[in-house]
């Protein structure tokens, strides 16, 4: 079967690797001129590391990444709001958590895909997809010939997916009321004392610092901002410094250690869940199918899960593509829709500006039961995967996530 994949991001490359492992010969078409060099970092929770292990790349990613053992939450004055025992979560799910720079994750996936014989074509921006003869889709590119594979996988992200436009007739990302500045800080010396995730909550503002190594920390500074307000200017570092000047360390230290050109501003959008992820022989995966907010912590993890599931669905389907698409959507839609909704709920609490709402949110986070939070996350994130102990937490799954997400 001839398989074309639009987009060489996390979804596209992991999908190519998973399909290669099942004996298929996919080709990837990526609009960038070369390998990814931008972006900050990604936390790969145990469900993602399960997939990375199955793809044979976990070892290489761990070699470039960090092994965080805790999330520490604080308010803007430095008071503790509890946290998450990541070591306990890892044990409950049977796989590690890994923090890694996005470019390193992409590089490992690309190297393994190329070594496995996947053809990755850069400089191939898809312009549109149309239905050709025999009900088969044809993808057209800005440069180079059109393609007409047996299966076309749309892994072209959340903001302007041509595959989603073909499948759903429209692609309208939804601005969710906050912007993110993202950056990577690298110091000659340690910027933080340990490998952990530090999450600071204010009123309408949030700062997250994620250590890969003590001297390598990626971060996201977020601020609630209506779309009608002018977007912040290009002088990202000064603006972030000013906004978070009074917040606890290591925030100022980390911002100072970030070169201006390594800071990027993102107006954060997500997508409404779709009723269907396929049309003709085109299937959506990753953000093109189900982009959650970064507050879900699961966008890349779910893109990786897609790869693992789809390769199995294709192999197992005797009824051809239609059956494989249906099985895939049946497996993936409920989990991804739930996570997207939780990301929105969490964001509404995080970016609340009303002092009383923030006080209640913080009190709830502080009073949360860390063991129950771990169980709830293990059950939610492990759902649908054969994790060693995932089933042990299933009893909590129905009750929704723990206090981490109870922010309203
Ligand atoms: C600030 C921030 C922090 C995040 N942190 C985390 C985290 O800690 N953990 C986590 O699990 N998730 C995280 N996410 C979410 C995660 O980054 C995404 O869910 C993930 O990148 C989705 O992968 P993807 O391959 O579907 O999309 P993308 O990574 O966007 O890749 C899409 C690819 O398609 C290419 N493309 C686009 N259009 C075309 C076209 N027309 N033709 C050809 N190629 C095209 C793009 O160049 C790109 O390479 C975060 C997101 C943000 C914004």
Rounded to the nearest angstrom, the distance between the alpha carbon of 367 and the centre of ligand 1 is 34
Joined together, the tokens standing for residue 262 give: 């390594």
Decide whether any atom of ligand 1 lies within 6 Å of the 42 Cβ.
yes
Q: Quick check: 209 and 254 in contact, CB under 8 A?
A: yes
Question: Within 13 Å of residue 116, how many CA atoms lie on the same side as its CB?
Answer: 27
Q: State the pLDDT confidence band at 316, using cuts at 50, 70 and 90.
A: confident
In 3D space, the residue among 117, 98, 86 whose CA is nearest the CA of residue 3 turns out to be 117
CA distance 28 to 167: 19
What is the CB neighbour count within 10 angstroms for residue 232?
Answer: 17
Q: Quick check: 234 and 261 in contact, CB under 8 A?
A: no
Q: Which residue minimizes the CA distance to atom 53 of ligand 1?
A: 294
Rounded to the nearest angstrom, the distance between the alpha carbon of 74 and the centre of ligand 1 is 28
Q: Which residue minimizes the CA distance to atom 6 of ligand 1?
A: 42
Rounded to the nearest angstrom, the distance between the alpha carbon of 369 and the centre of ligand 1 is 32
Ligand 1 atom with minimal separation from the 7 CA: 34
CA distance 272 to 270: 7
pLDDT by residue (tens digit) across 362-394? 999 999 999 999 999 999 999 999 998 644 444
Rounded to the nearest angstrom, the distance between the alpha carbon of 158 and the centre of ligand 1 is 7
Position 406 scores a pLDDT of 34
Joined together, the tokens standing for residue 319 give: 């009824």
Question: 181-212 burial string, b = 16+ CB within 10 Å, else e?
Answer: bbbbbbbeeebbeebbbbbbbbbbbbbbbbbb
Q: Is residue 397 pLDDT above 60, yes or no?
A: no
Mean pLDDT of the chain: 93
Q: Is residue 395 pLDDT above 50, yes or no?
A: no
Q: Is residue 398 pLDDT above 60, yes or no?
A: no
Rounded to the nearest angstrom, the distance between the alpha carbon of 60 and the centre of ligand 1 is 20
pTM equals 0.95
pLDDT-above-90 percentage for the chain: 87
Position 45 scores a pLDDT of 98
pLDDT by residue (tens digit) across 122-137? 999 999 999 998 899 9
Ligand 1 atom with minimal separation from the 127 CA: 41
Domains of the chain and any CATH numbers:
2-173+271-399 (3.50.50.60)
Position 371 scores a pLDDT of 94
Rounded to the nearest angstrom, the distance between the alpha carbon of 81 and the centre of ligand 1 is 30
Decide whether any atom of ligand 1 lies within 6 Å of the 125 Cβ.
yes
Decide whether any atom of ligand 1 lies within 6 Å of the 290 Cβ.
no
pLDDT-above-70 percentage for the chain: 94
Burial of 372 (0-12, 13-18, 19+ CB in 10 A): middle
CA distance 304 to 308: 7
Phi, psi of 52 (to 5 degrees): -60, -35
């Amino acid at each position: 079967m001839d398989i074309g994949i639009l987009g060489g991001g996390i979804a596209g490359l992991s999908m190519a690797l998973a399909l290669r492992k099942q004996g298929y010969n996919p080709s990837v078409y990526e609009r960038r001129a070369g390998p990814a060099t931008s972006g900050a970092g990604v936390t790969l929770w145990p469900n993602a590391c399960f997939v990375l292990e199955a793809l044979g790349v976990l070892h290489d990613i761990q070699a470039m990444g960090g092994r965080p053992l805790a999330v520490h939450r604080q308010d803007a004055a430095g008071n503790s709001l509890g946290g998450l025992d990541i070591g306990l979560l890892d044990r409950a799910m049977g796989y590690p958590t890994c923090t890694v720079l996005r470019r390193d994750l992409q590089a490992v996936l690309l190297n393994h895909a190329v070594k496995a014989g996947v053809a990755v074509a850069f400089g191939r921006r898809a312009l549109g997809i149309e239905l050709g003869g025999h009900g088969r889709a044809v993808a057209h590119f800005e440069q180079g010939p059109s393609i007409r594979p047996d299966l076309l996988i749309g892994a072209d992200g959340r903001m302007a997916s041509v595959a989603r436009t073909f499948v759903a007739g429209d692609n309208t990302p939804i601005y969710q009321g906050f912007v993110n500045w993202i950056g990577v800080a690298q110091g000659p010396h340690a910027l933080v004392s340990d490998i952990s995730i530090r999450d600071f909550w204010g009123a309408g503002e949030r700062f997250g610092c994620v250590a890969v190594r003590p001297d390598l920390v990626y971060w996201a500074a977020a601020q609630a901002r209506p779309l009608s307000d002018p977007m912040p200017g290009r002088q990202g570092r000064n603006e972030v410094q000013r906004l978070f000047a009074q917040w606890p360390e290591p925030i100022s230290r980390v911002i100072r250690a970030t070169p201006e050109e390594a800071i990027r501003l993102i107006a954060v959008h997500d997508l409404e869940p779709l009723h269907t992820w396929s049309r003709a022989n085109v299937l959506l995966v990753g953000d093109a199918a189900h982009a959650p907010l970064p507050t879900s912590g699961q966008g890349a993890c779910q893109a990786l899960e897609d790869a693992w599931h789809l390769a199995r669905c294709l192999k197992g389907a005797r009824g051809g593509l239609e059956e494989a698409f249906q099985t895939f959507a049946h497996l993936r839609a409920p989990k991804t829709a739930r996570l997207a909704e939780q990301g929105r709920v969490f964001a509404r609490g995080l970016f609340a500006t009303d002092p009383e709402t923030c006080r209640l949110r913080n009190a709830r986070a502080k009073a949360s039961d860390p063991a129950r939070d771990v169980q709830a996350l293990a059950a939610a994130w492990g759902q649908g995967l054969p994790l060693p102990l995932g089933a042990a937490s299933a009893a909590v799954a129905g009750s929704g996530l723990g206090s981490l997400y109870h922010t309203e």
